[in-house]
A and B are shown apart, each in its own frame.
Chain A
């Protein structure tokens, strides 16, 4: 186990968050816009949602205002 947990945002995290900063998008649309594979988008969105950085509504994701 690592001695400390790295909670910093990766470039991928930021890229996905930027894609839904202004508008809410579906997973498919985020994958298209960011040119990332679907599995990666799903995984990152799950992590961001667990950290309350993005939220999902009716299948579309948007950034949570902090």
Chain B
């Protein structure tokens, strides 16, 4: 028998969330007490991770997320942060942000020391860092379905305007059964789903309420 004792390593393989799939359920310790994903049923949710407390890029992002929080709430959308830090670290950091920058962080932050939630959502990029979460964003709708996923690296802060634009675009698409073009903003024309029959294509080209370049490329006002 070999002197080297072989250790069997069991690695749990988890599939990552995909757009259109149910968001992985979790229960987590947060700065607002224990929260479950199911607590957010009926609301949209932006679940986002950051690499670490008391770091400069993350601080600018937290201030940014807080600044858009009132607008998100008007869109029935909540914010939930996450990093692989303790709840006491989170508490100290959000207090520090308020003292140093005058911004009170009002949304909860998950203390994911066991990396349970981060693993479920694929927030860790091991080749970048195996001990910190990347800057991941999951937009989860009111039925707890993943609707959009964004990843940014450790070095680059996210664009808050895009968070607002993305949620508004997703909700508009749902409400009006349309799609939104590149750089769409509220008030812009929306994309009408392409016609799927010759008859539909012909009538669409004659529809005075639409602005069609061709049968597959029609826009209209909401």
Closest 4 A-B residue pairs measured CB to CB? A39-B39, A42-B39, A39-B40, A43-B35
Which bucket holds chain B's interface residue count? 10 to 19
> Is there an interface contact between B43 and A44, defined as CB atoms closer than 8 Å?
no
Q: Is B18 an interface residue (CB 8 A)?
A: no
Complex CA distance for A42 and B35, rounded to whole angstroms: 9
Interface residues, chain A, with chain B CB atoms under 8 Å away: 2, 37-40, 42-44, 46-47
Question: B36, B42, B73, B88: which contacts A43 (Cβ < 8 A)?
Answer: B36
Complex CA distance for A39 and B220, rounded to whole angstroms: 37
Instruction: With CB as the reference atom, state the residue of chain A lying closest to B30.
Output: A43
Within 8 A of A (CB), among B100-116: none
Q: Is B78 an interface residue (CB 8 A)?
A: yes
Complex CA distance for A47 and B42, rounded to whole angstroms: 20
Interface residues, chain B, with chain A CB atoms under 8 Å away: 32-36, 38-43, 73, 78, 88
Between A and B, 11 residue pairs with Cβ closer than 8 Å are A38-B42, A39-B39, A39-B43, A42-B36, A42-B39, A43-B32, A43-B33, A43-B35, A44-B33, A46-B36, A47-B34
Complex CA distance for A39 and B80, rounded to whole angstroms: 11
Complex CA distance for A14 and B27, rounded to whole angstroms: 23
Taking CB atoms, residues of chain B closer than 8 Å to A40 are 32, 39
> Is there an interface contact between A37 and B78, defined as CB atoms closer than 8 Å?
yes
Q: Looking at the assembled complex, report how far the CB atom of A49 sits from the nearest CB atom of chain B, in whole angstroms.
A: 12
> Is there an interface contact between A38 and B34, defined as CB atoms closer than 8 Å?
no
> Is there an interface contact between A47 and B33, defined as CB atoms closer than 8 Å?
yes
Complex CA distance for A30 and B11, rounded to whole angstroms: 44
> Is there an interface contact between A38 and B39, defined as CB atoms closer than 8 Å?
yes
Q: Looking at the assembled complex, report how far the CB atom of B58 sits from the nearest CB atom of chain A, in whole angstroms.
A: 23
Taking CB atoms, residues of chain B closer than 8 Å to A46 are 34, 36
Complex CA distance for A47 and B34, rounded to whole angstroms: 8
Taking CB atoms, residues of chain A closer than 8 Å to B38 are 42
> Is there an interface contact between A43 and B34, defined as CB atoms closer than 8 Å?
yes
Taking CB atoms, residues of chain B closer than 8 Å to A37 are 43, 73, 78
Instruction: With CB as the reference atom, state the residue of chain B lying closest to A37.
Output: B78
